[in-house]
Amino acid sequence: MNITKNNVDALNAIVTVEISKSDYSAKVEKTLADYRKNAAIPGFRKGAVPMSLIQKQYGKAVLLDEVNKLLQENLNRFLVEEKLDILGNPLPKVTEDFNWDVEDYKFEFELGLAPEFSVDLTAKNDLVQYKIVADNKMLNDQVARIQKQYGKLIAKDTVEDGNDVSGIFANEEKGINNRTTLSLDVFADKKTAKAFIGKKVGDVITLNTKGLFDDDHKLMDYLAVSHDDVHGLDVDVTFTIDEVTTHEPAVLDQELFDKLFGPKVITSVDELKAKIKEDAEKQFEQQADQKFLNDVTEFLVTSTKFDLPAEFLKKWIQTAGENPLSAEEAEVEYSKSENGLRYQLIEGKVVTDNNLQITFEDLKTYTSDVIRKQMAQFGQMNPTDEDIQGIVARVMSNQEEVKRLSQQVMNEKMLNLYKDKVKAKSKEVSYDDFIKAMYGEI
């Protein structure tokens, strides 16, 4: 057997596999001999069927099978031994006049080669690494929500200033039908709030969505409208009142603090606000980190220039799925997946260049931390190490979970690397401004 590679260009190559009779004949003969031992053909005793008959009936199929096995085994070995970094899988070149009746065969395969490129994490950029701060307004609002949540709820017959109103927003044409609860101060215009005063359960109020709230994003929460539809939405909606309530706010005393955080953990309103700020900013840090990771990813895809074997990949896409695609369909699929492929290559390069590896201990430590946080959310603040390790062992026996957690560990390593290497501008923002930045509005 002889295998050779010919580079068409930097991104494409042809591998030629030449198979001679001596490569497959012994295996074909052995397989046919095994067939003969077990063949049950009328007129012949078992094991006494003439080999010429076995050859006629099974010879071609056995030949094709053995040659195909040789092809796959040796082609794969060649790719590994030559350390070829390929994209997709080798594509056999179709030969219209291929002749299986000869004894020696030649097969050709097209390869798409991964491009050579470098990734400059220190390149000039316009990236921003956000630090989200819990401002005084947020802290005061959160304290008010706590007082409301733990206060006394009182049902009312008629809407008065300061009440909460529950009901259904509806617009049949836009498919809006969402039950929600809101306070009257949520509206941007005080006239809108006044329209509710004096109304009762069962009353219907018609409102226009344009400028209904101080931030159009609130339409997503109250009307269950998608982000793509909220900006400039200008339709009439009805609000059918089905409940009116008022709250007697809870007193900010030691009894409430203990109920929230345990005995004597918090002893004053200032300490309560400090705790709220600490917890909120921890959650905000995760969101800011995810945005930074996404922004760096987009920057690297845009700024790291290299060519791909596009025509090869389109041909490969045509045959890669369960159902063959037309050239036009493959073109569409390639357009959808190109950036994802580019980032896979970039990520692989970053991992290699910076020797980012996931060890078993990394995975165990990360999984333990995740489990401890989850248990804390359900009030289990001090689980034993034995309990944690038992859960870790069960989780890591699931290959799908290991794969998912490994990706999260690698994302964390990539994030820490980007924070260290990428020269982004730091910026403190409120949570509201961060949300606007998320959607490209500041």
Q: Tell me: the pLDDT tens digits for 53-96?
A: 888 888 889 999 999 999 999 999 999 999 999 999 999 988 77
In a domain, 130, yes or no: no
In a domain, 241, yes or no: yes
CA triple 434-405-83, angle to 5 deg: 110
**Could you give the CA distance from residue 414 to residue 125 in angstroms, rounded to a whole number?**
18
In a domain, 276, yes or no: yes
Q: Report the domain count for the chain.
A: 3
One domain, residues 284 and 423: yes
103 three-state secondary structure: coil
CATH assignment at residue 57:
3.30.70.1050
Contact 93, 106 (CB under 8 A): no
pLDDT at 442: 54
**Could you give the CA distance from residue 419 to residue 423 in angstroms, rounded to a whole number?**
8
Question: Which residues does residue 170 pair with via DSSP β-bridges, in sequence order?
Answer: 177, 238
pLDDT at 426: 95
pLDDT at 47: 74
**Could you give the CA distance from residue 277 to residue 260 in angstroms, rounded to a whole number?**
15
One domain, residues 291 and 406: yes
**Could you give the CA distance from residue 138 to residue 144 in angstroms, rounded to a whole number?**
10
**Could you give the CA distance from residue 161 to residue 193 in angstroms, rounded to a whole number?**
8
Task: Compute the chain's Rg from CA coordinates.
Answer: 34
One domain, residues 277 and 425: yes
One domain, residues 297 and 184: no
pLDDT at 441: 63
Q: What are phi and psi of 408, to 5 degrees?
A: -65, -40
Pick out the chain residues at pLDDT < 50.
none
Those residues whose C-beta lies under 8 Å from the C-beta of residue 223, and which sit 6 or more positions away, are: 169, 176, 178, 180, 209, 237
In a domain, 261, yes or no: no
One domain, residues 244 and 101: no
In a domain, 131, yes or no: no
One domain, residues 104 and 208: no
One domain, residues 8 and 80: yes
One domain, residues 281 and 428: yes
CATH assignment at residue 194:
3.10.50.30
Domain boundary among the residues 113, 142, 163 is at 113
**Could you give the CA distance from residue 145 to residue 164 in angstroms, rounded to a whole number?**
13
In a domain, 87, yes or no: yes
User: Cβ of 64: how many Cβ atoms within 10 Å?
Assistant: 12
C-alpha 101, offset from chain centre: 51
Domain boundary among the residues 113, 142, 162 is at 113
The amino acid at residue 227 is: H
392 three-state secondary structure: helix
**Could you give the CA distance from residue 162 to residue 185 in angstroms, rounded to a whole number?**
8
Short-list 169, 128, 193, CA closest to 428: 128
Short-list 190, 194, 181, CA closest to 211: 190
One domain, residues 243 and 276: no
- Per DSSP, the residues of 114-178 read PPP----TTS----EEEEEE--HHHHHHHHHHHHHHTSEEEE-SB--TT-EEEEEEEETTTTEEE
In a domain, 35, yes or no: yes
One domain, residues 218 and 298: no
Question: Which residues does residue 240 pair with via DSSP β-bridges, in sequence order?
Answer: 168, 204
One domain, residues 186 and 272: no
In a domain, 417, yes or no: yes
DSSP secondary-structure letter at 199?
-
Q: Which domain holds residue 233?
A: 152-248
**Could you give the CA distance from residue 291 to residue 286 in angstroms, rounded to a whole number?**
9
One domain, residues 299 and 411: yes
* Residue 405 in tokens: 């957690």
